[in-house]
Structure formats: structure tokens, C-alpha cells
Amino acid sequence: MGERAELRKKAKELKKFVSTIVSEINQLTIEEQTSLLMKKWPNSIQGTKEKQQKILPPLKNVKKFPKIITRFSPNPDCALHLGSVRAIVLSHDYAKMYNGDFILRFEDTDPRLKKSSLEFYDMIRDDLRWLKCEWDSEYIQSDRIQIYYEHARKLLEIGGAYVCTCKPEKFREKILTKKNCECRTLSISDNLSRWDGMLEGRYHEGEAVVRIKTELDHPNPAIRDWPALRIIDMKKT
């Protein structure tokens, strides 16, 4: 009636007519309904017969890398929400598309603000299995702290990182204008001494962070000299 205005006047009559037809159709079995539809209006059910298979668009620059490795890295401080499905499926399917590896990595190194709980590790694993996204290897970051400490020291030794003791607001002011803080130009031995200080408890929470040297004009200010390691005081609440 939306398309044929003249029929609107006959709405009552049409209603009777339509309900007669509907009850006739409802008496047919599904098979009879399908064959009637196929005979009279074959195009109307074509879509259900030939489901289009959707595939992921190829990734750029894959040839540059010997192997494609993707990861999903939840913090096990709560159950996954629906929004995680996208990251899980895309990471898994892209790894498989290129015969690569899909890693599950638990980011559980904040024992105070994002305190993990054992039950969530298993819930997350179950969710991935339910999505049929099996992972090739699994890492639990809190088991690997010593490895990260070794890498932090190596980075400081080669000048790829520095220990920043600036107040966060002061650092932010500088980095937003693409300028470095004074800590960035410290000598390697000064940095290593500050690092030892972090490990020995000479600094308190918020007083020192290890920053990775990046390009200072990176388009994303959050990436510029991002903090890789920081102190968490477990006595604080």
C-alpha cells in the first residue's frame, strides 16, 4: 500500500484477503512452501541458497616479514566483554591466513590497580576455545618479570631507553611540544645507576619510570617516549 496509494481505500477488504492466503500457506509443510516459492519466485530465495563467503582483506607489507605473528593480550582482572571478539577473531584469522602463529598473552603485571584473579585466566581461555580461536602459544607476563628486567637493562646499556624522574605533568608538557626532558640525555652510567635505584627501592611509586626512546615527533603523543616499566607500591591502597 506504500507503493500503491489507490489500495489504501480497500484496506479492510485486503486484510481479509491476505489473512486467507496466509492461513492457506500455513497449512503447507515447509518443503511444500519452499517448492512453491522456487517454482513461482525463484529469485526471492537465491540469497539463502548461495551464501557469499566473506574473506579478510589481505594485510599490507606481509612480504617484509618471515612469519606473521599476532596476539591477543587481555588483562585477567575481569571477564572478557563482547567487544573483545573482534580483536580475538581478527588476530587469530589473520595468523592462520598466513600460516603464522596466534599468541595469547596475559598482561597481568599491575597487581594493584588491575589486580588479576585466577578464575579469569580460565574464563578467557574458555572464551577463545568457544570462538574456535585456538592459540599456538601462551605467555603470562607476571611469570616473566626477570626477563623484562634483563631487557630493560640491555636497552639502557645501548641507549635505547632512559630512566625519567620528571613529574608526569612536566614530562607531558615537554613531550606535547615534541621536546625531550633532561633525563633523555643522561649518560648510560647515570641511567644504569637510576635503574639500580628503582630495583633497590630508592625511588617510590611515581618517582621514576623507564621510557623507551621513540621519535619525538611521532604523530601520536602517547607513543612518544612511552613508559615501559614503572614502580607499583603494593602497600598503597
DSSP state of 159: T
Q: Which stretch binds Zn ion (CB under 5 A): 15-23, 135-143, 183-191, 192-200?
A: 183-191
Q: How far from the centroid of its chain's Cα atoms is residue 201's Cα?
A: 34
Q: Which stretch binds Zn ion (CB under 5 A): 15-23, 136-144, 147-155, 161-169?
A: 161-169
Instruction: Write the CB contacts of 154 (distance below 8 Å, at least 6 apart in sequence).
Output: none
Q: Is 175 in the site for Zn ion (CB under 5 A)?
A: no
**C-alpha–C-alpha distance, residues 158 and 210, integer Å:** 14
Location of C-alpha cell 518443503: 31
Nearest CB to Zn ion, comparing residues 156 and 181: 181
Q: Is 210 in the site for Zn ion (CB under 5 A)?
A: no
Q: Which stretch binds Zn ion (CB under 5 A): 30-38, 73-81, 173-181, 223-231?
A: 173-181
Closest CB 97 distance from Zn ion, rounded Å: 42
* C-alpha pair distances (Å), 99 with each of 66, 89, 91, 172: 11, 15, 12, 42
Q: Is 164 in the site for Zn ion (CB under 5 A)?
A: yes
Q: Is 190 exposed, middle or buried (0-12, 13-18, 19+ CB in 10 A)?
A: middle
DSSP H helices, the chain, are 11-27, 30-40, 46-49, 84-97, 118-130, 145-157, 168-176, 188-200
Q: Which stretch binds Zn ion (CB under 5 A): 26-34, 48-56, 178-186, 191-199?
A: 178-186
Closest CB 183 distance from Zn ion, rounded Å: 3
Q: Is 198 in the site for Zn ion (CB under 5 A)?
A: no
Q: Is 183 in the site for Zn ion (CB under 5 A)?
A: yes
Location of C-alpha cell 611469570: 143
Q: Are 181 and 174 in contact (CB under 8 A)?
A: yes
**C-alpha–C-alpha distance, residues 127 and 93, integer Å:** 16
Nearest CB to Zn ion, comparing residues 173 and 233: 173
Q: Which stretch binds Zn ion (CB under 5 A): 17-25, 98-106, 181-189, 224-232?
A: 181-189
Q: Is 186 in the site for Zn ion (CB under 5 A)?
A: no
The only residue of 88, 175, 181, 208 in contact with Zn ion, by rule CB under 5 A: 181
Nearest CB to Zn ion, comparing residues 95 and 175: 175
Among 93, 123, 89, 94, which residue's Cα sits nearest to residue 106? Answer: 123
Q: Is 161 in the site for Zn ion (CB under 5 A)?
A: no
Closest CB 150 distance from Zn ion, rounded Å: 23
| Chain residues in the site for Zn ion (CB under 5 A) | 164, 166, 181, 183
